[in-house]
Amino acid sequence: MTDLVAERYRLAFRLYPYARSPDQDAPAPARHKVIIAGGGPIGLATALDLGRRGVPVVLLDDHEGAGLGSRALCFAKRTLEICDRLGAAGPMLDKGVQWNVGKVFHDDRLLYEFNLLPEGGHAFPAFINLQQPWFEKFLHDAILAAQAEGAPIELRGRNRVDAVTPSADHVTLDIMTPDGPYQLQADWLIACDGARSPLRGMLGLSFDGRVFEDNFLIADVKMKADFPTERWFWFEPHFKSGDSALLHKQPDDIWRIDFQLGWNIDRAKELEPANIRARVDAMLGPDVAYELDWCSIYTFQCRRMDRFRHGRVLFAGDSAHQVSPFGARGANSGIQDVDNLAWKLALVLDGTAPDSLLDSYDAERVHGADENILNSTRATDFITPKTPVSKLFRNAVLTLAEHLPFARTVVNSGRLSLPCTYDGSALNGPDHPDMPPRTRPGSPCPDAPLAGGWLLPHLGRGFTLLSINQTVPDSLSAHGLTVPRLALDATPEIAARYLGNAKGAVYLIRPDQHVAARWDHFDESAIAAALARAIGKV
Amino acid sequence: MLITAPNLTRPDETYERLIAIHDGLTEAESHALNARLVLILMNHIGDHQVLDQALRLARDPSRAPD
C-alpha cells in the first residue's frame, strides 16, 4: 500500500475502494458535468439526488468509505423525508432508535420531562438516533440501487483533491491517487468536504461569524443497562463533568454520552481511557458494567461562509456552515442544502433554468444557516452563560422550571432541528391569506396520509400542482417544464394543513417539496408566471 | 403598550412587601429572588413588545418608550 493518499482516520465501512479510472490515463484532463468533493453524508446525498435526476456526477473522497464513530447521530423528520425521496429512508428507520421522552436535570434534580409526541398523520417520527456511518452506508446502498437502474453516479475512493483552479465556465482539479496524480475538469464543483474544508482553504475563502468555542467529549458506551430510551440532559451535572451532559440511546446497545468540557482543556489527557472511565463512572454510578465503544473530543465553532456559491463552486454542509451540536442542526441542515441544490443544478444543466437560479441556493441556504446559527447560539448561551448576571437568570429559570410550566418554555438545551421556511425568497410567488401559515410560500410541505399511503412520496420528482376542491387540468406546460397535477381529497389532515379557511386550493410545489405559490382557484397564466419565478426566470 | 402612568393599587403596601420579602436573605439570595421575580412578572405580561419597552426603559429611565 502506497502512502500517496495517507489515511487520516479508520473506517467503519469500506464502501468505494480505489479503482483506477481511464481518466487517469487520458492525455488531457477529462471533463465532467459535476464533481462532488467529499463522501460524507452530504456528498453522498448530493451524488444520489443529482444522479437520480439524471445528472452525471463523479464523487471524490480521499478515503474509501464511512469513517468510524457515531458522530452526527440525531436525524430529524425532514432529513428522513428527504432520504425517503432519495430511496434511502426505509433501512434508516428500521435500524434507528426512535425516541419521544426527554428529561432535564439541574445538578442532581429532575426538573421536568417532556414528550415530543409528534403531530399525528406523518409517515416519519420527529427523530431517530442512528450512527453516522450507518446513515452513510444506507445512502451508499441507495446509490448502488440507483446505479443499477442507470443513474450516472461514479464514486472514486482515495482520490484526494490537492488543488483547484477556477475558470469562468469550469474548474480544474489536481487529484492525488495511490497511482499518482491526475487532473479533471468540471462544469460545476460541489464542495462537501466538511468543517475544515480543504477546498475552502485552497480558494482562500473566509469562514467567519460569531466564533464560539467549546470542547465536547463524546463517549459511546456499550452496556446492557436498564436505562429507558429517553434523552437525558443535565445542566451543571452533579457528577461534575462540566457545564452540561447528555445521555442518548443509539442502536446496538450503545449509549452516547456528551460531556461539555469547556475551552481550556488538555486534549490528550482527557482522551486517556482512565480519565474517560472516571467521568463515565461518576455519571452512571459504580455498579454499571460497560465498555467504551468509541470516544472523541469534538470542538465546534458557530460560523458560516459569506456566500455558498463562488462562481462554479458551490459549498454544502459543514464546509459552508458550522453550528454547536445543541439542536442536531449540523447534518440535518446539510441534507437540506442538498435538497435545495440538486434540483436547481439539474435544471441549470439541462438549460431549463438560467445560471442565476443557483444564486437562490445561496440566498435560501444562507437564510437556513443563519436560523441554525441563531438557535444554536441561543442554546449555547443558555447552557454556558457568559456573564455572572446571565448565569443568575439562567439558574433562576431552572429553579422555576421545576415547579412552573411557563419557565420550561425558556429552558434551552437545544431547539431541535426543524425544516427551514424560505420566507422572503425571490423564488416565492403569491400567497393566499385564508390558508394556513405553515404552508405559506417557502415552506416545506407537511406530510399527510392519503388513501393507501402518504402525500410526500407523490412530490419531488419535478414541480407538482396540488389541487384541493378545484378543477385543474391533468398537467400544465410552461417554460420548458410539464407540471403534473395531483388532486387531493380534503381529508381532515389535508384541510388543516393546506386549506385553512379557503374553500379550495391550488399549490405549486417545487421539486424539493417546498411550496412555491398558492391560490384559491386555477389560473393558468398566474401559475406559469409563478413557475417562471420559481426557476429564476424573472 | 407599556403602562408608565401610575398603576399600583396600593403603592406603599406593595413596595413594603417588595423590601420585606428579602428579609433574612444574603445578597446572593436576594439577587436570585429578584431574577425569579423578573421572570414571573415577564410571564404575567407575556407580550414581547411590551416587555421590550420595559427592558429599554429600565436600561435608560430618561427615555420614554416609543
* pLDDT, tens digit (0-9, with 9 covering 90-100), for B6-64: 999 999 999 999 999 999 999 999 999 999 999 999 999 999 999 999 999 999 999 87
For the segment A427-440, the average pLDDT, to the nearest whole number, is: 98
Instruction: Give me the CATH number covering residue A494.
Output: 3.40.30.120
Residue A429 lies inside a defined structural domain of this protein: no
CB contacts of A399 in chain B (<8 Å) are: 32, 36
- In this prediction, residue A273 carries a pLDDT of 94
Percent of chain A with pLDDT over 90: 86
Position B65 pLDDT exceeds 70: no
Model confidence pLDDT, tens digit, residues A4-57: 999 999 999 999 999 999 999 999 999 999 999 999 999 999 999 999 999 999
Q: Is residue A403 part of a domain?
A: no
Residue A300 has pLDDT above 80, yes or no: no
Q: How many CB atoms lie within 10 A of CB A378?
A: 16
Residues of chain A in contact with residue B31, where contact means CB-CB under 8 angstroms, are 392
> Chain A contacts of B36, Cβ < 8 Å?
396, 399-400
Question: Closest by alpha carbon to A510, among A371, A307, A311, A353?
Answer: A353
Contact A407/B at CB under 8 A: yes
Please indicate, yes or no, if residue A111 is contained in any of the structural domains: no
Q: Which residues pair with A188 in a beta bridge?
A: A34
Q: Does A81 fall in a domain?
A: yes
- For A158, A232, A234, A412, B17, the CA distances from A113, given in Å and listed in that order, are 47, 9, 12, 13, 34
- B44: closest chain A residue by CA: A406
- Cα–Cα dist A527/A506, whole Å: 9
Residue B66 has pLDDT above 70, yes or no: no
Q: Other C-beta atoms within 10 Å of A437: how many?
A: 10
Same domain, A173 and A66: yes
Query: Could you give the number of structural domains in chain A?
Result: 2
Residue-wise pLDDT for A350-375, tens only, equals 999 999 999 999 999 999 999 999 99
Is A166 among the domain residues? yes
Residues A132 and A33 in one domain: yes
Q: Are residues A449 and A527 in the same domain?
A: yes
Contact assessment for residue A258 and residue A218, using Cβ atoms and an 8 Å cutoff: yes
Structural element, H or E, at residue B41:
helix B27-45
Searching chain B, which residue's CA lies closest to the CA of residue A392? B32
Same domain? For A40 and A146 the reply is: yes
Q: Say yes or no to pLDDT of A439 above 90.
A: yes
Grid cell, residue A151, equals: 443513474
Residues A359 and A444 in one domain: no
Report yes or no: B32 at the A interface, CB cutoff 8 Å.
Answer: yes
Q: Which of A339, A369, A399 is the last residue of a domain?
A: A369
Same domain for A345 and A478, yes or no, is no
B36 touches chain A (CB under 8 A): yes
pLDDT at A101: 87
A85 and A187 share one domain: yes
Contacts of A387 (CB under 8 A, 6+ apart): none
- Check CB contact under 8 Å for B32 and A393: no
**What is the structure's pLDDT at A227?**
78
For A30-49, letters b (16+ CB in 10 Å) and e give bebbbbbbbbbbbbbbbbbb
Q: Is residue A341 part of a domain?
A: yes
**A446, A365: one domain:** no
- List of chain A residues whose C-beta atoms are within 8 Å of the C-beta of residue B39: 393, 396-397, 400, 407, 410
Reported as half-sphere exposure (CB side, CA atoms, 13 A), residue A494 has a value of 21
Residues A327, A460, single domain; the answer is: no
Sign of CA dihedral A221, A226, A229, A230: negative
Residues A400, B31: C-beta atoms closer than 8 Å: no
- d(CA B37, CA B29) in angstroms, rounded, equals 12
Statement to judge: residues A323 and A462 lie in one domain? no
Q: What percent of chain A has pLDDT over 70?
A: 99
**Torsion from C-alpha of A487, A491, A497, A502, nearest 10 degrees:** 70
Quick one: pLDDT band at residue A228, thresholds 50, 70, 90?
confident
pLDDT for position A340: 98
Which of A20, A287, A295, A394 is CA-nearest to residue A175?
A: A20
Return the number of other C-beta atoms located less than 10 Å from residue A500's C-beta. 16
**Domain end marker among A369, A389, A412:** A369
Asked whether residue A2 carries a pLDDT value surpassing 70, the answer given is: no
Alpha carbon distance A239, A237 (integer Å): 5
Which of A396, A404, A406 shows the shortest C-beta gap to B35? A396
Out of A396, A406, A410, name the one closest to residue B32 (CB): A396
Give Cβ neighbours of residue A276 (< 8 Å, ≥ 6 apart). A217, A219, A270, A292, A295
Mean pLDDT to the nearest integer, A497-524: 98
- A365 lies in the same domain as A446: no
Q: Which domain holds residue A476?
A: 437-534
d(CA A95, CA A269): 34
> Does residue A291 sit within a domain?
no
Predicted local confidence at residue B64, as pLDDT? 74
CB contact set of A308 (below 8 Å; sequence gap of 6+): A314, A315, A316, A320, A337, A361, A362, A365, A366, A369
Tell me which of A348, A369, A390 is where a domain ends.
Answer: A369
CA A133 to each of CA A66, A74, A338: distance values in angstroms, whole numbers, following the listed order: 5, 12, 18
Chain segment A325-348, per-residue pLDDT in tens: 888 889 999 999 999 999 999 999
pLDDT of residue A225: 76
**Mutate which of A392, A409, A411 to disrupt the B interface (most B C-beta within 10 Å)?**
A392
Number of H helices, E strands in chain B: 3, 0
ipTM: 0.96
User: What whole-number distance in Å separates Cα of residue A373 and Cα of residue A392?
Assistant: 24
Which of the four pLDDT bands, split at 50, 70 and 90, describes residue A211? low
Q: Kindly list the residues from chain A whose CB atom is less than 8 angstroms away from the CB atom of residue B38.
A: 393, 396
Residues in chain A: 538
DSSP reduced 3-state for A387: coil
pLDDT for A166-190, tens place per residue?
999 999 999 999 999 999 999 999 9
Distance, in angstroms, between A396 CA and closest chain B CA? 5
pLDDT digit string, tens, across residues A121-160: 999 998 999 999 999 999 999 999 999 999 999 999 999 9
pLDDT at residue A208 in the model? 84
Q: Where are the alpha helices (DSSP H) in A350-477?
A: 357-383, 388-401, 405-408
pLDDT of residue A299: 80
Whether residue A351 sits in one domain with residue A459:
no
| Residue A211, min C-alpha distance to chain B (Å) | 27
In B, minimum Cα distance to A398 occurs at: B36
CB contact under 8 A, A395 and B32: yes
- Tell me whether residue A391 is in a domain: no
Q: How far is A389 from chain B (nearest CA, A)?
A: 9
Which of A416, A414, A415, A396 has the alpha carbon at shortest distance from A111?
A: A396
Q: Please measure the distance between the N-terminal and C-terminal CA atoms of chain B and give it in whole angstroms.
A: 9
CATH number at residue A46: 3.50.50.60
